[in-house]
Amino acid sequence: MNFGKNDLLVLIREGRPMTLRQQLLLTVQLSIPAMVAQLSSIVMQYIDAAMVGSLGANASASIGLVSTTTWLFSGLCSAASTGFAVQVAHCIGGGKFDEARQVLRQSIVLVLMFSLLLAGVGIGISGVLPQWLGGAEAINRDASVYFMIYASFLPMMQLCFLAGGMLRCSGNMRVPSMLNVLMCLLDVVFNFFLIFPSRSFSLFGMDVFVPGAGWGVAGAAVGTGLAELVVAGLMLWYLAFRSKELGFMHEKGHFRPTSVVLRKAVHIGGPMGIEHAVICGAQILTTVIVAPLGVFAIAANSFAITAESLCYMPGYGIADAATTLVGQSMGAGRKDLTRRFARITVGMGMAVMGVMGVIMYIAAPLIIGTMTPDAEVLELGVQALRIEAFAEPMFAAAIVAYGVFVGAGNTVIPCLMNFFSIWAVRLTLAAWLAPSMGLNGVWLAMCIELCFRGIIFLIRLERGKWMKI
């Protein structure tokens, strides 16, 4: 008998038995669209980097300088959304659809308030942030403008995160995936017209004029923000009117936040927000370690991080599926399925990212070469990627196991584990190795730390105490 994704999710909610084949099939059905969505997000960053990279090393370095801070802000937005989305997954798993829609309504108000506050902070610090990070005078102005524009569009990013997370936790991976691909395409179009000045080129013997704003680095930020604006509107429309499980515009309900929903969101998302702050604080400190190595090292570091994202984002896609599967299994009181889905998703993540690591090692010159024409930046970026390739399977273990713990609503201990791993292992090693090994030392420290993190997450996963919380 052929089972669709929705049929298999119903088996979880109704407490009916599932064969191993059905569990694997459901995991694949949820993971593939989620991986496509994650990859499209990284392709968007990759395209931004390639387009800006054509403007020169300084333009690339200006974005690379503030990239870790943009991750901090986007991570906080993601944590805020997840605090509500996990509640929805638990409600749907228990068959409480009205309660799920109540949580959704309240979440829209609360995350908008949060993202507007965050945007105000980002705009406020944009003028001094490059100096805080130790940037050179040649790149500080562009870096400041880029971050200011990025911060201005944070509410749109927040709504994309919230709507996408809600749909995924309801079991709908296809629509967020398709809309993320659309966002990637829109980003290319907007960047094409906003980054570069007006120009003419010959096509089949005819001169073709292409208008352009010529905004450079600022154009990349505006292009991404406009793409987020369009997709946020489309995703919210689908969530409100078309979602079978969560569509809330066809029935009465209030948007007034309640203390119960907010308290649960803080309990789940609060540790995640702290964790993102801790991790990105460490990444910012890594940027401070890299900055004295020069503009070429900053640019190469930024390109290598973007390129590596192509490798690990499938892991985050599988982690999204793990959150949905574990969240609905926990909501349905199915601890037997919870453990099995945890093991299946982690194993799948390690296999996929292991293959991606091999591809990344072999294709490193091609990947970095498409983002920069500079030979020195290319050489440094390739070396960094090839060091990191060895850590990908264990990095996958940490990523997907974390998604499992989030689905169970258990985020405090994983937050502490990440804190210790990054600050005690990665930064200590990076500060020690960078003076003698340069950028390679920083990436070697990262490789060692990711392997260590994967091991401790696997140990916690197998002990199973996270299911009792």
Closest alpha carbon to 52 in 42, 65, 62, 39: 62
* 220-273 pLDDT per residue, tens: 999 999 999 999 999 999 999 999 889 888 777 788 999 999 999 998 888 888
Q: Alpha-carbon distance 362 to 189, whole Å?
A: 30
**In the chain, how long is the greatest CA-to-CA distance?**
71
Question: Which of 38-52, 97-111, 370-384 holds the top average pLDDT?
Answer: 97-111
Query: Mean pLDDT across the stretch 364-381?
Result: 82
What pLDDT does 7 receive? 64
Under a CB-based contact definition with an 8 Å cutoff, are residues 38 and 316 in contact?
A: yes
Judged against a pLDDT cut of 50, whether residue 112 lies above it is answered with: yes
* 387-429 pLDDT per residue, tens: 988 999 999 999 999 999 988 888 889 888 988 998 899 989 9
Q: Alpha-carbon distance 245 to 170, whole Å?
A: 7
Percentage of the chain exceeding pLDDT 70 = 97
DSSP of 139-156, one letter per residue? HHHHHHHHHHHHHHTHHH
Closest alpha carbon to 82 in 256, 272, 233, 237: 272
pLDDT band at 42 (very low <50, low <70, confident <90, very high): low
Helix (H, G, I), strand (E, B), or coil: what is residue 111?
helix
Under a CB-based contact definition with an 8 Å cutoff, are residues 313 and 356 in contact?
A: no
What pLDDT does 287 receive? 74
Q: Alpha-carbon distance 411 to 415, whole Å?
A: 6
What pLDDT does 454 receive? 95
Half-sphere exposure of 141 (CA within 13 A, CB side): 3
DSSP of 28-91, one letter per residue? HHHHHHHHHHHHHHHHHHHHHHHHHHTT-HHHHHHHHHHHHHHHHHHHHHHHHHHHHHHHHHHH
* 152-189 pLDDT per residue, tens: 999 999 999 999 989 988 888 889 889 988 998 899 89
Q: Alpha-carbon distance 421 to 460, whole Å?
A: 14
Higher pLDDT, 374 or 426: 426
* 268-300 pLDDT per residue, tens: 888 888 877 877 777 778 878 887 887 788 778
Q: Alpha-carbon distance 2 to 345, whole Å?
A: 22
* 138-149 pLDDT per residue, tens: 889 999 999 999
What pLDDT does 238 receive? 94
Q: Name the residue type at position 130.
A: P
What pLDDT does 4 receive? 54
What pLDDT does 75 receive? 85
Query: Mean pLDDT across the stretch 92-106?
Result: 90
pLDDT band at 45 (very low <50, low <70, confident <90, very high): low
Under a CB-based contact definition with an 8 Å cutoff, are residues 67 and 300 in contact?
A: no
Averaged confidence pLDDT in the chain: 86
User: What's the full length of the chain, in residues?
Assistant: 469
* 185-215 pLDDT per residue, tens: 899 899 989 998 888 877 777 788 888 888 9
Under a CB-based contact definition with an 8 Å cutoff, are residues 448 and 429 in contact?
A: yes
Closest alpha carbon to 59 in 117, 4, 141, 119: 141
Query: Mean pLDDT across the stretch 326-344?
Result: 88
Domain ranges of the chain: 5-464
Under a CB-based contact definition with an 8 Å cutoff, are residues 409 and 90 in contact?
A: yes
Q: Alpha-carbon distance 132 to 276, whole Å?
A: 19
Judged against a pLDDT cut of 90, whether residue 354 lies above it is answered with: yes
What pLDDT does 386 receive? 92
Helix (H, G, I), strand (E, B), or coil: what is residue 294?
coil
Q: Alpha-carbon distance 43 to 51, whole Å?
A: 12
Under a CB-based contact definition with an 8 Å cutoff, are residues 362 and 282 in contact?
A: no
Residue 276, Cβ density class (10 Å: 0-12 exposed, 13-18 middle, ≥19 buried): buried
DSSP-derived letter for residue 3 is -
What pLDDT does 1 receive? 46
Closest alpha carbon to 265 in 98, 439, 88: 88
